[in-house]
Structure 1
Amino acid sequence: MPGLSRREFLTQVSAGAAVFGLSQLFNPGRPLAATPDAIAAMTEGQTPKRGGVLTYGQTYPNWALGQSNRGQHPYYWLDLLTRSVWNGLVWVDENMEPQLELASSATPSDDLKVWDFELREGVLFHDGTEMTATDVVASMAFHKLGGVGLISGQVDRVEALGPRAVRFHLNAPNAEFLHSVAEYRAMVFKAAEPEAIGFDGIGTGPFRLTEIDNARQFRAERFDACWTGAPWLDEVRGVIAVGNAAINGYRAGQLNAVFNIDPGQTAQFEDAGAQIQAAPSGDQFWLILPKNLDFPWNDVRVRQAMALAVDRARINQIVYGDADGWTGNDTHMNGVNAEFLPREGGRDVARARALLAEAGYPDGVSLPAMYFCPSFPEEPRIYPIVSESLSEAGIRLVLEERPCDGFNPFATAVNQPIGRPRRNLVGPRNPFINLSRLSPRNREEPGGWAGPEAERFDALILEAVGTADPARRLELYHAAQRIAQQEVPGIMLGGRRNMVAHRPEVRNIRSHAQNWSSRFEYIWIDA
């Protein structure tokens, strides 16, 4: 499979592929200087060509698709790939490092509770007006209403310090706050009242929205005055192409690229002349184990047995054709994270059976049904492998498919606030966000994990994010992951790699491990 293995990827990161890291932030009194645009480096040594139309299919649309008839807003945008039209203060690059975007510098206070951002000068919105601190403050006030949980949950208030300076006052110290303002919904809009802001479709991105069908497709034309420079393409068109619509649209010539292809269709795309580019990782599948009812997995030994019995390597080999790929470590950490701590020992069916016997199940155990909806096309092929490998240790678990339409209400309709045993989808983020999703402070996703070890886990990650020293943060994050691997609040399968298929003449198109961070201004068509 094309792309880098996790080992190769992390080797490149450690060799200096990232433009800057958080370790550079903590020279007291020195602001983080704006770095050379990572975007310009994407085409270094190449000769891009101006012109052409990229018509791409997206197999994994925005989860909020169809919830509003005003799809020109990034909250309700067709696609999670919002950076064709909009920008944020920060972007997360392909090494999972934060890069300054609309911000030209970012400086934390000594206690990490205040972050000052200087804004780039001369950034224009698509209507020709210049972006100022007023726009950023209004945008963040809107996001604080709840649309971006990482802002509403972390930011106390935001104020303008001048026409191009903004200060964030946080509720608690956060060494990794740059990642929070890089979220795909945390875009900067023209200032307006909360009921109107963002709904005009105007952003600062490389393409200007010209047409949208809220549930199916959009068109956006090149914005010559973009702050990154005019993009190479004349136009970008995005089309929702779920299931076989993706490969059929590609074969018919209607699409010249498809993001998030079904890994089971790579050969079909290649037979149709496509090139495949794979990110080093992608979303994960998290099996939630509710513990506030009388389930067998309330006993930690049953959870440990499940973690030991699931054959994650077989999933990689059969579903992804990637036998040496990364696997989940039963936290929300992702294989692309430099702080990721692999589970020790691998699969051990004999030990799983012994743990079940210790827990009072010498003849095996039947678990309650678990539900999923196929957000990604390969999911229905994953869960038979999960069930079969668990059964080899005497663990009987049925995973039942439900339609994605209405799945969330179905999943949370009983056993409040946790809901039914089910699969949740987890995208890759930075360590604090990843591990906070596992924290007992998150009332739903950890499935009711509680007790002294859960409290110690939470204390470790809160200490980590309030620590300026990167080495100490890494030590704390590793300690937290070891607790979670021992306690197994849920099962993380891992292993997914986001992939894009494209025609050979579509150059420099990239699949990003953090799917929504894919960009378009460095793509061109070599006609």
Structure 2
Amino acid sequence: MPGIVEPLSQSLSQPLSRRTVLAGALGAAGLGLLSLSGCAPARQEPTIPQAAATGATRPGGRLRVARPAASAAETLDPASSLSAYEYLGALYNRLVKLDERGGTVPDLATEWSSNADVTEWTFRLRGDVRFHDGSAFTARDAIASIAHILDPATASPQAGVLGEVIDAAAMTAPDPHTLRFRLSKPNAEFPSLLAAYQCYIVPADAVGDPRRTGIGTGPFRLSSFHPAGTGSVEAVDDHFAGRPVLDGIDFFSVQDASARVNALLAGQIDLISQTNLDFATARVVAASPRATVARSVNAQWYTIPMLATSPEFSDVRVRQAMKLAYDPRRVVATALNGTGSPGWDNPVPPTMAAFLDAPREHDPDKARALLKAAGAEGLSTKIYTSSYDAVFTPLAVAYRDAVADAGVRLTVQNASSDSYYTQIWMQEPLMVSYWFTGRPIDQLLGQIFRSGSSYNETAWSSPAFDAVLDDARAETNDERRRMLYQDAQRLIVEDGADMTPMFGDRLVGISRDVVNYTEYGFEFDHLSIGFRK
């Protein structure tokens, strides 16, 4: 029958199609299919909220979350590169987690300490925690979970970070609630490396067993999961941190961005996960009666990598010129409509305690001179982008226009979104990319900028940078260590091949009935989010 909205629970084994969700939007009373190009009904221009709504919540309710379409190979193994990220924070806990300033705070561990040269770390674990299957959490489970990350067969993105300082034999349990690590080299920031979202703890007997995935100690337990499809989690009444406000969360895979937005506007979902709304779409959402925007400040870190091994950018003078040639404030205004902060080519977010506040200069004339000295006057090349992220192309265009004053001629080249990170990233000389902020300072600098790191997107190699990072890790004085991390940032700005034009605010589509959405450290607060009282 025309006008009937097909329910979201139509099939737990199939992702929602664009047609299904758009039909729901069209069937919503008085809503119609809104154009996402910014064409809203004539009214005062809507503003994007500066922060998510907070307030008293009513107990219970189920949050309906739309997530992007995923691979059929996705898994609930948190260590995997194919993990269903949106479920992880609901199902699992880590030993430690990060606060909003990037500091390490307790989760399954209550306290930790090191020896004098920070080569041995001891963690005291909670004794009142049980997994969803009823088994007690002990140090054995933590050892098995971290060993699983380190196992080459797992191919975990966190293996390289942890593998620099530990192996499976480095972990021991003096008693069921004490965990000890013996590091291969000093690292005063070691606890923060265990805050990565791959470091969630699973039962030792469930590691690598696909029949037992999803069993954790988190505030929700799994009730269903279909790779690339739908799934649900249910509140744990006796969770050690308290019962969540919500009764449960339902996840739906929705094929594309416009379909997800229209499902939100039609009231079929309550939250769009893992997708940053572009500014025009965010304005439409903010103007709607059912939905609004939860703004997470500086949550996305946008980069323009220059491949340091390419003929175009192997000369440091050319890299310096590409930075001096543009003003990040202009890029933020153009690409983000002001919903972000200028980066000045420093990858550390300004909200982090170790941030170096030392903006570089903007000098197109000096950029021209450097290009001439390097034999690259009138540099002409392509800058690659795609529809993978809504901000990629506006960023590429804004940067192209900004560097023209220095005589740099760029051609914006669009590439397919489904192969962008397999055929363009780390292969073409110049492109746009992004990361989520929330990494601890040592992991951020080491994983993405250290020589030889698998995530070093520019292939930049600097013995001086590596040495400063090693010195920082071995430094036990907090203030001196912070200053060394700032020295590392200075080297990236002056010599590195990664440009950071801006940090973008993540603009999350959310129902007006949802309150207390906060997001940092790669996940939102599953305990406090709920529906307005």
TM-score normalised to the size of structure 1?
Answer: 0.82
Cα separation, 1, equivalents of 2:139 and 2:507: 37
Partner AA of 1:304 in structure 2: Q
Alpha carbon RMSD of aligned pairs, Å? 2.6
Mapped contact 1:122–1:227 kept (Cα < 8 A):
yes
Cα separation, 2, equivalents of 1:69 and 1:439: 29
CA 496–486 in structure 1, closer or farther in 2 if over 3 Å, else same: same
Cα separation, 2, equivalents of 1:197 and 1:475: 45
Alignment correspondent of 2:365: 350
Partner AA of 2:298 in structure 1: S
Alignment correspondent of 2:35: none
Secondary structure in structure 1 of the residue aligned to 2:293: strand
Mapped contact 2:260–2:272 kept (Cα < 8 A):
yes
Alignment correspondent of 2:349: 334
CA 374–121 in structure 1, closer or farther in 2 if over 3 Å, else same: farther
Alignment correspondent of 1:66: 71
CA 336–87 in structure 1, closer or farther in 2 if over 3 Å, else same: same
Cα separation, 1, equivalents of 2:500 and 2:268: 37
Q: Structure 1: where are the runs of 5+ without partners?
A: 5-41, 413-417
Q: Map residues 448-527 of structure 1 onto 2, 5 A cutoff.
A: 448-450=459-461, 454-512=462-520, 514=521, 516-527=522-533
Cα separation, 2, equivalents of 1:173 and 1:327: 34
Equivalent residue for 2:443, pick from 423, 433, 446: 433
Cα separation, 2, equivalents of 1:195 and 1:380: 40
Cα separation, 2, equivalents of 1:250 and 1:158: 46
Cα separation, 1, equivalents of 2:207 and 2:322: 47
Alignment correspondent of 2:271: 257
Cα separation, 1, equivalents of 2:454 and 2:243: 45
Equivalent residue for 2:200, pick from 167, 181, 187: 187
Alignment correspondent of 1:281: 298
Deviation at 1:319, TM superposition (A): 3.0
Aligned-pair identity (%): 25
Deviation at 1:442, TM superposition (A): 2.4
CA 261–487 in structure 1, closer or farther in 2 if over 3 Å, else same: closer
Partner AA of 1:79 in structure 2: Y
Deviation at 1:85, TM superposition (A): 1.1
Cα separation, 2, equivalents of 1:81 and 1:404: 24
Alignment correspondent of 1:52: 61
Secondary structure in structure 1 of the residue aligned to 2:222: strand
Q: Map residues 181-260 of structure 1 onto 2, 5 A cutoff.
A: 181-192=194-205, 194-196=207-209, 199-241=212-254, 242-259=256-273, 260=275
CA 518–346 in structure 1, closer or farther in 2 if over 3 Å, else same: farther
Aligned length: 470
Mapped contact 1:460–1:479 kept (Cα < 8 A):
yes
Cα separation, 2, equivalents of 1:163 and 1:67: 37
Q: Kindly provide the CA deviation profile for residues 453-495 of structure 1, in whole angstroms up to 9, marking residues without a partner as x.
A: x222221111012111111112212222222222132222222
Alignment correspondent of 1:29: none
CA 109–398 in structure 1, closer or farther in 2 if over 3 Å, else same: farther
Alignment correspondent of 1:94: 100
Cα separation, 1, equivalents of 2:350 and 2:253: 28
Mapped contact 1:73–1:199 kept (Cα < 8 A):
no
Q: Kindly provide the CA deviation profile for residues 440-460 of structure 1, in whole angstroms up to 9, marking residues without a partner as x.
A: 24266253434xxx2222211
Cα separation, 2, equivalents of 1:151 and 1:340: 23
Mapped contact 2:72–2:228 kept (Cα < 8 A):
no
Alignment correspondent of 1:117: 123
Partner AA of 2:338 in structure 1: D
Secondary structure in structure 2 of the residue aligned to 1:352: helix
Partner AA of 2:515 in structure 1: R
Secondary structure in structure 1 of the residue aligned to 2:492: helix
Deviation at 1:210, TM superposition (A): 0.9
TM-score normalised to the size of structure 2?
Answer: 0.81
Partner AA of 2:302 in structure 1: F
CA 116–54 in structure 1, closer or farther in 2 if over 3 Å, else same: same
Mapped contact 1:90–1:100 kept (Cα < 8 A):
yes
The 10-residue stretch of structure 1 (268-277 or 137-146) with the greater mean CA deviation from structure 2: 268-277
Mapped contact 2:75–2:84 kept (Cα < 8 A):
no
Secondary structure in structure 1 of the residue aligned to 2:489: helix
Whether 1:290 and 2:299 are equivalent positions in the alignment is: no
Mapped contact 1:137–1:159 kept (Cα < 8 A):
yes
Q: Structure 2: where are the runs of 5+ without partners?
A: 1-47
Cα separation, 1, equivalents of 2:454 and 2:514: 44
Whether 1:360 and 2:375 are equivalent positions in the alignment is: yes
Mapped contact 2:306–2:458 kept (Cα < 8 A):
yes
The 10-residue stretch of structure 1 (231-240 or 252-261) with the greater mean CA deviation from structure 2: 252-261
CA 279–399 in structure 1, closer or farther in 2 if over 3 Å, else same: same
Equivalent residue for 2:321, pick from 301, 305, 309: 305
Alignment correspondent of 1:160: 173
Secondary structure in structure 2 of the residue aligned to 1:480: helix
Mapped contact 1:332–1:426 kept (Cα < 8 A):
no
CA 47–69 in structure 1, closer or farther in 2 if over 3 Å, else same: closer
Partner AA of 1:398 in structure 2: T
Partner AA of 1:279 in structure 2: S
Q: Kindly provide the CA deviation profile for residues 130-186 of structure 1, in whole angstroms up to 9, marking residues without a partner as x.
A: 111111111111011141222233323211121111112222211112221111111
